[in-house]
Amino acid sequence: MASAPPTPSAPPGDALPAPEPHRALELFDPRLFVNRELSWLEFNQRVLDEAADPSLPSYERLKFLSITASNLDEFFMVRVAGLKTQIDEGVTETPADGMLPEEQLAAVSRRAHRQVADQYRLWRDEIQPALEKEHGIRLLRPRELTPAQQAAVRDHFHARVFPVLTPLANDRSHPFPQLRNKSLTIALHLPQGKGKRRAGAATSLVGVPGGLPRLVPVGDGRTFVLLEDLVAEHVGELFPGSPVVKTAAFRVTRNWDLEVDEEEWGDLLTAIQAGVRERDKGDPVRLELAAGAPVEVTGPLVAQLQLAEPDVYAVDGPLQLQDLGALVELTRGDRRRETRLGLPPPPPAVAQASDIFEAVARRDILLHTPYESYEPVVALIDQAADDPEVKAIKQVLYRTGSDSPFVKALLRAAESGKEVTVFLEIQARFDEKNNIGWVRALRDAGATVVYGYDACKTHCKVALVVRSEGGVPRRYVHLGTGNYNPVTARIYTDVSLLTARPDVAEEVGALFNMLTANTTSAEITGGAEARWPWKRLGVAPHGLKERMLDLIAEETAQAAAGKPARILAKMNSLVDKDVIRALYAASQAGVRIDLLVRGICCLRPGKPGVSENVRVHQVVDRYLEHSRIFVFGEGKRARTFISSADWMPRNFNRRVELLVPIDDPEARARLAEIVELGMADDVKGSELRADGSYARLRPPEGQPGLRSQDALDPARRGRGEPELRPVPDRG
């Protein structure tokens, strides 16, 4: 379906003279690249645009607002923290866009301040009033309550809150405390005493208990006060004889990226455990506090935390907006238009078979979740654990959740004496503590657990089951784009392949040997001179990037020879400068390139003489677009792949990733359709412009438009929207 052209809402990017075709030097111009951090902020802005959409009900808008707040937290804890570290270490190396760390940090700060202002304007002026109008939900200050309500929350404070509060002075004998990352705290300005014991004491702190509900219900259960407001209202009771003059709630975000020195510790597991314990001692990177907070309170905070003015965010509304997502539950009974939908069905090939092994033995099975059931993936490991004919199970786990059916099945299998090998990535960011616990449990059950490979994170999604059939071992394989997590499988779009093809299974077995033996691919095949040791799979960090560049180059050669050439790709992020330059060269040669990039995109489409043949679209909708699909060529020439890897340096060079060829013609057609529908989405889609901003696509006047997530799931069209949960994307 044709879509209306985007309406420009920002000035175009830097003008470049049209380069001569195939002039390589042009492709190194920094103006051809969008800064990674700024591109991510534009993605988060697109999520915020959903929160700003007045056509959505207030509870949906609140969900999207919650997601943007959670996303920003992780952005500061990792990306902004990384920029600050580079500045402290005097790093002068620049990415392809040519921006120094200082320049990036300044640009990020300006953009993030505008985004935060947009978040709070939306909450204050639109979403909060809509929640009250549509659902009777109110968030009040203690002084806005009726006398009876004030008495009730005062009783709640004394019974539930006061006993767990601890006042902390900040003076010569009481150093500034080590505040936990993202913890809420009340700062107080107290009058200075005349005696020695109080001399110089002006600021004290009271932590808001993290173990108590932040939303304190009042009366009808649809009126609330915030816990920090309740503490601030009665905080004077913690300082008898010292009247509280001024207070302000604040929140500190710290560097939470985990860095470990394996050589220093000798064992990666010990290093990760130590790093998790030390995390809350990371350097502060952001201070959030209430707008209008008195300088007598904020001044000492900024000085103690050693932050600069751009690091301070004064917000006109509740801190930690994502906590307000809990209010959505109150609206569930009011949703007249929401239709209860059953669980998605399994593919017919699975439904018609007696068990998962029979289904996969017959033919390859492509799953597209959440539109199809994730149960076949769970069943592969679950049935393997209890099947007496299964002799071995091998699986890579990256993020699997705290109540994983996969781990439970692997534990049963190991306890029953099966050969169970688990590669469990304990460096999966923010899941380290959870994964360390699984390492211990699996080891205790008798499984072989490996958690480190050649200084890389193991990010591929792969499982192998070896089953005896007629006395002959047969291997069953699952390969996918999403983590082994049934929770995210309901809210992330992902694709995966279940197969018993011997050629694929053999290479998956070699992959597990590589991981457990910690050998390079060249060592496995017995010769470093072999460029492609993997005939079917592409494996990072051993040649996946080079294989992608070769595939792009083949399309470039096709176009240069005057033949039809096409690249159709879907991914989460496009950052790698070599791949971007290869795409520019392909565009110059005449290759038609359509990219569906959910998040970061450092490529600039539409640059004269460089990227006129490149389109980049983005879809932000009820599900998080997470699958990676790549199609090179058209018609009979088309080669189709799914992958765990985005086109980023970290995926190519510092992670173990897989590129999986899809052979079944029907599966190839389905995968191409997924990307084509995303490119045609003019309801929830946007188009990237050359200046790095996005223009929302709109259907032609008088036409209903195409919403790709509805088109991919016809059963849900017109039947209400499924639940969207504010779960951030972590790879």
Worst-scoring range by mean pLDDT, 139-148, 325-334, 385-394?
325-334
- Would the pLDDT of 174 be above 70? no
* Mean pLDDT for the stretch of residues 547-574: 97
| CA-atom Rg of the chain in angstroms | 28
The reply to whether 607 and 506 lie within a common domain is no
- Would the pLDDT of 13 be above 70? no
Worst-scoring range by mean pLDDT, 212-221, 295-304, 356-365, 421-430?
421-430
Label residue 177 by pLDDT band (50, 70, 90).
confident
Q: Does residue 9 form part of some domain?
A: no
- Would the pLDDT of 521 be above 70? no
Look-up of token digits 């006047």: 701
**In degrees rounded to 5, what are phi and psi of residue 176?**
-60, 130
**Total tally of structural domains belonging to the chain:** 4
In the prediction, which pLDDT does 25 show?
Answer: 46
Q: Which residues are catalytic?
A: 459
**In degrees rounded to 5, what are phi and psi of residue 280?**
-70, 0
Last residue of a domain, one of 314, 341, 368: 341
In the prediction, which pLDDT does 647 show?
Answer: 98
In the prediction, which pLDDT does 427 show?
Answer: 60
Look-up of token digits 């539950």: 329
- Would the pLDDT of 633 be above 90? yes
Look-up of token digits 């679209």: 617
* Mean pLDDT for the stretch of residues 625-650: 96
The reply to whether 476 and 602 lie within a common domain is no
Q: Does residue 37 form part of some domain?
A: no
Measured torsion, CA atoms of residues 323, 324, 325, 330, in degrees rounded to the nearest 10: 130
CA distance 5 to 687: 9
Please state, for a pLDDT cut of 90, what percent of the chain lies above it: 64
Name every residue whose Cβ is closer than 8 Å to that of residue 714 and which is 6 or more positions away in sequence.
Answer: none
The reply to whether 624 and 702 lie within a common domain is yes
The reply to whether 560 and 678 lie within a common domain is yes
* Mean pLDDT for the stretch of residues 8-37: 61
Write down the mean pLDDT value for the chain. 85
The reply to whether 478 and 570 lie within a common domain is no
Is the CB of residue 225 less than 8 Å from the CB of residue 144? no
In the prediction, which pLDDT does 21 show?
Answer: 45
In the prediction, which pLDDT does 66 show?
Answer: 95
Is the CB of residue 627 less than 8 Å from the CB of residue 493? yes
Label residue 608 by pLDDT band (50, 70, 90).
very high
- Would the pLDDT of 261 be above 70? no
* Mean pLDDT for the stretch of residues 429-435: 58
Helix spans in 601-702 (H):
649-653, 665-680
The reply to whether 509 and 638 lie within a common domain is no
Task: Report which of residues 211 and 596 the model is more confident about.
Answer: 596
CA distance 263 to 265: 6
Burial of 359 (0-12, 13-18, 19+ CB in 10 A): buried
What is the CATH number for 502? 3.30.870.10
In the prediction, which pLDDT does 456 show?
Answer: 83
In the prediction, which pLDDT does 424 show?
Answer: 83
The reply to whether 420 and 452 lie within a common domain is yes
In the prediction, which pLDDT does 279 show?
Answer: 53
Q: Which two tokens stand for residue 499?
A: 């197969």
In the prediction, which pLDDT does 340 show?
Answer: 43
In the prediction, which pLDDT does 265 show?
Answer: 40
- Would the pLDDT of 50 be above 90? yes
Burial of 47 (0-12, 13-18, 19+ CB in 10 A): middle
In the prediction, which pLDDT does 173 show?
Answer: 57
In the prediction, which pLDDT does 335 show?
Answer: 62
Worst-scoring range by mean pLDDT, 222-231, 444-453, 569-578, 629-638?
444-453
Worst-scoring range by mean pLDDT, 189-198, 468-477, 495-504, 578-587?
189-198
Q: Which two tokens stand for residue 326?
A: 């809990």
**In degrees rounded to 5, what are phi and psi of residue 592?**
-85, 120
Dmax over CA atoms of the chain, in Å, equals 91
Q: Which residues of 154-176 are buried (b: 16+ CB within 10 A; e: fewer)?
A: eebbeeebeeebeebbbbeeeee
In the prediction, which pLDDT does 472 show?
Answer: 95
Look-up of token digits 């994307």: 729
The reply to whether 388 and 462 lie within a common domain is yes
Label residue 270 by pLDDT band (50, 70, 90).
low
Q: Which two tokens stand for residue 496?
A: 């995966």
CA distance 687 to 128: 30
Q: Does residue 16 form part of some domain?
A: no
Label residue 131 by pLDDT band (50, 70, 90).
very high
The reply to whether 111 and 179 lie within a common domain is no
Q: Does residue 18 form part of some domain?
A: no
The reply to whether 87 and 152 lie within a common domain is no
- Of the spans 23-37, 317-331, 505-519, 597-611, which averages the highest pLDDT? 597-611
Last residue of a domain, one of 317, 341, 365: 341
* Mean pLDDT for the stretch of residues 212-236: 91
Domain hosting 312: range is 44-135+306-341
Label residue 280 by pLDDT band (50, 70, 90).
low
- Would the pLDDT of 83 be above 50? yes
In the prediction, which pLDDT does 347 show?
Answer: 85
- The closest of 716, 723, 725 to 344, measured between CA atoms, is 716
DSSP notation for 310-353: GGEEEESS-SSGGGGGGGGGGGGGG-TT-----PPPPPHHHHTS
Cis peptide before 728 (omega within 30 of 0): no
Is the CB of residue 396 less than 8 Å from the CB of residue 448? no
Cis peptide before 541 (omega within 30 of 0): yes
The reply to whether 102 and 190 lie within a common domain is no
DSSP notation for 95-132: -TT---HHHHHHHHHHHHHHHHHHHHHHIIIIIHHHHH
* Mean pLDDT for the stretch of residues 394-404: 84
**In degrees rounded to 5, what are phi and psi of residue 288?**
-110, 135
Task: Report which of residues 43 and 726 the model is more confident about.
Answer: 43
Name every residue whose Cβ is closer than 8 Å to that of residue 33 and which is 6 or more positions away in sequence.
Answer: 95, 96, 97, 98, 577, 580, 602, 603, 604
Q: Does residue 89 form part of some domain?
A: yes
Residue 171 DSSP label: B
Q: Does residue 430 form part of some domain?
A: yes
Q: Does residue 290 form part of some domain?
A: no
In the prediction, which pLDDT does 431 show?
Answer: 55
Please state, for a pLDDT cut of 70, what percent of the chain lies above it: 83
CA distance 685 to 596: 10
- Of the spans 244-248, 271-275, 295-299, 322-326, which averages the highest pLDDT? 322-326
- The closest of 501, 724, 548, 571 to 653, measured between CA atoms, is 548
In the prediction, which pLDDT does 11 show?
Answer: 35
Q: Does residue 8 form part of some domain?
A: no
Label residue 635 by pLDDT band (50, 70, 90).
confident
Cis peptide before 217 (omega within 30 of 0): no
Name every residue whose Cβ is closer than 8 Å to that of residue 439 and which is 6 or more positions away in sequence.
Answer: 269, 424, 426, 449, 451
What is the CATH number for 128? 1.20.58.310
Which neighbouring-strand residues pair with 365? 498
- Would the pLDDT of 47 be above 60? yes
Last residue of a domain, one of 341, 364, 399: 341
Q: Helix-strand-coil percent breakdown of the chain, rounded to 5?
A: 40, 20, 40
- Would the pLDDT of 713 be above 90? no
CA distance 532 to 509: 16
- The closest of 330, 129, 363 to 217, measured between CA atoms, is 330
The reply to whether 588 and 552 lie within a common domain is yes
In the prediction, which pLDDT does 532 show?
Answer: 44
